[in-house]
Structure 1
């Protein structure tokens, strides 16, 4: 499959202009010289995606829905926990649970990889201006390039399926966490940094004890935005074999089936709301105890 795609790429290269021809040359060079590296990346992403999906499929659907609801009860509110439980049960009733889990595994895998690369890069860029000057134009390019464009080299280098979907999603979703990590660290008050240095903190201690804790709300906003952007790629990734809920929406578009498209879109919305609120809640400790939230839930059901 990869060989056929390479031949198709070469056949189309003559139609591109000078800039496009340069991009063609780069991809062709990578195809010819990076086979071992791309094979390793392919294996790592496949294994990571499989592990995440197996973990999500390990509990029964009702148990996973209950765990998410209890997590929402603890981190957000009683009403959110109840709505999460109802929403996930609605997904199960529509027969889209397995597809939702597949989409969630892809989103979480891409988000974890984006955070694993983006957070350290953001820290380095915040502390080394030269790295930020090199990184910023790349982030601008990654954020402004149409998402569909990422699919082309991803398919050429990794064929179709989950791996190019994760790669394209990673590239699309990583810029916010890098930018907001840089912003959060640079916004730490100078007097706190000077106080840390005056108490004899090393650079590592200054980063872990002063800068990162104070930048945590901004960092978590970056994490939230990365997860949301990764989820927004679900439908686009389905065009290259990403699977999951994106396939349902794509089939609805292709068949002009409003009901099918609405069900797929509704499942994506439910998943997006749950991920959004839970990831937002991680930036601050719970404002109320679980007991208070259970009491609120009881009042919601009018239990005396």
Structure 2
């Protein structure tokens, strides 16, 4: 067996070269779309007054979580500003948001398809295992070959790395819906699409949102690796701090990533279960809506009791 070797690396290099040579138009189109989305969102965030953006972030935190989360968000964003990291933080936030949106748009349909088709699930499982266990740095190599240095290879590698949890959690949520509930929908004549939209997706939403939360966290964890590919943001500052052994810059940039991660994690985690946070705006609205529905039900029951009593009096001799 001496000298025997399977040239998998050469095959992979040949495949990457073939894609680079024959799909250049598609790669240019993807690069244009990614740059347009990331740079456009970055311009919007940086063009918005800083105080207004902090207030908006705090209101979002209050709406889905609590007033204390809103205060913590305002303090966190103010700390990022005080460290001189505002521009880099907004660049990182733009990259994470766009990468997470792309990953979610791909992951949820794939998860639904996998949950409804055993063959697709069997084929997709080893692919997702491969995507999830491959070291994230490896994704940068073909991405840089395809798209050169910049934000595009960082975002592409981020999407590939963050995609598997979204697919798995969506599949788990759909398959975890009570079969008797689905059978009841079939018994009432609902189509598969109606069952998906009206029964499975609403009941699976907490699990799906947990997957979205994981996608966002993994996207943010790739910020440093995206910085190695030349993407602007906090990750690039971390890479510069490593190359120059600048402890202060590294700590500040790392703290900025942590503060963004805490904000995104708490917000997305709360979106799946808004009623579990009674001090949030969504929780208060849900309680008021429930109270109004209860009042309407009590009024209808009272009216029915009055009608029954009136009918009994008329029937009495």
Q: Establish whether TM, by shorter chain, passes 0.5.
A: yes
Cα deviation, 1:192-236, whole Å, max 9, x if unaligned, reads: 000000111111001000000010010000000000000000011
1:174 alignment partner, SS class: helix
CA contact (8 A) 2:62 2:70 kept: yes
Shift of 1:74: 2.1
CA contact (8 A) 1:221 1:280 kept: yes
Report the Cα distance in structure 2 between the residues aligned to 1:138 and 1:130, rounded to whole angstroms: 13
CA contact (8 A) 2:162 2:215 kept: yes
CA contact (8 A) 1:110 1:169 kept: yes
2:292 aligned residue: none
Report the Cα distance in structure 2 between the residues aligned to 1:49 and 1:292, rounded to whole angstroms: 29
Shift of 1:47: 1.2
Shift of the 174–293 alpha-carbon distance from structure 1 to 2, 3 Å rule, reads closer
2:24 aligned residue: 35
Say what the alpha-carbon RMSD is for the aligned residues. Answer: 1.7
Q: Say whether 1:229 aligns with 2:218.
A: yes
2:156 aligned residue: 167
Higher Cα Rg: structure 1 or 2?
2
CA contact (8 A) 2:64 2:281 kept: no
2:241 aligned residue: 252
TM-score, normalised to structure 1's length? Answer: 0.88
Larger mean CA deviation between 38-47 and 273-282 belongs to 38-47
Report the Cα distance in structure 2 between the residues aligned to 1:224 and 1:38, rounded to whole angstroms: 29
Q: Say whether 1:152 aligns with 2:154.
A: no
Cα deviation, 1:251-303, whole Å, max 9, x if unaligned, reads: 21111111111100111100000000000010022432558999xxxxxxxxx
1:138 counterpart (127, 132, 151):
127
Cα deviation, 1:3-50, whole Å, max 9, x if unaligned, reads: xxxxxxxxxxxxx96010110110111111111111111111111112
1:192 alignment partner, SS class: helix
- Structure 1 regions of 5+ residues with no counterpart? 1-15, 295-304
Report the Cα distance in structure 2 between the residues aligned to 1:32 and 1:248, rounded to whole angstroms: 33
CA contact (8 A) 1:142 1:175 kept: yes
User: What are the within-5 Å matches in structure 2 for residues 284-295 of structure 1?
Assistant: 284-286=273-275, 287-288=277-278
Shift of 1:55: 2.6
1:68 aligned residue: 57
| Equivalenced residues, count | 279
User: What are the within-5 Å matches in structure 2 for residues 39-58 of structure 1?
Assistant: 39-58=28-47
Report the Cα distance in structure 1 between the residues aligned to 2:247 and 2:281, rounded to whole angstroms: 43
Report the Cα distance in structure 1 between the residues aligned to 2:135 and 2:86, rounded to whole angstroms: 30
TM-score, normalised to structure 2's length? Answer: 0.85
Report the Cα distance in structure 1 between the residues aligned to 2:111 and 2:254, rounded to whole angstroms: 33
Report the Cα distance in structure 1 between the residues aligned to 2:17 and 2:280, rounded to whole angstroms: 57
Shift of 1:130: 1.0
CA contact (8 A) 2:170 2:207 kept: yes
Cα deviation, 1:46-98, whole Å, max 9, x if unaligned, reads: 11112222232232111111111121122112221111101100111111001
CA contact (8 A) 1:73 1:293 kept: no
Report the Cα distance in structure 1 between the residues aligned to 2:240 and 2:22, rounded to whole angstroms: 37
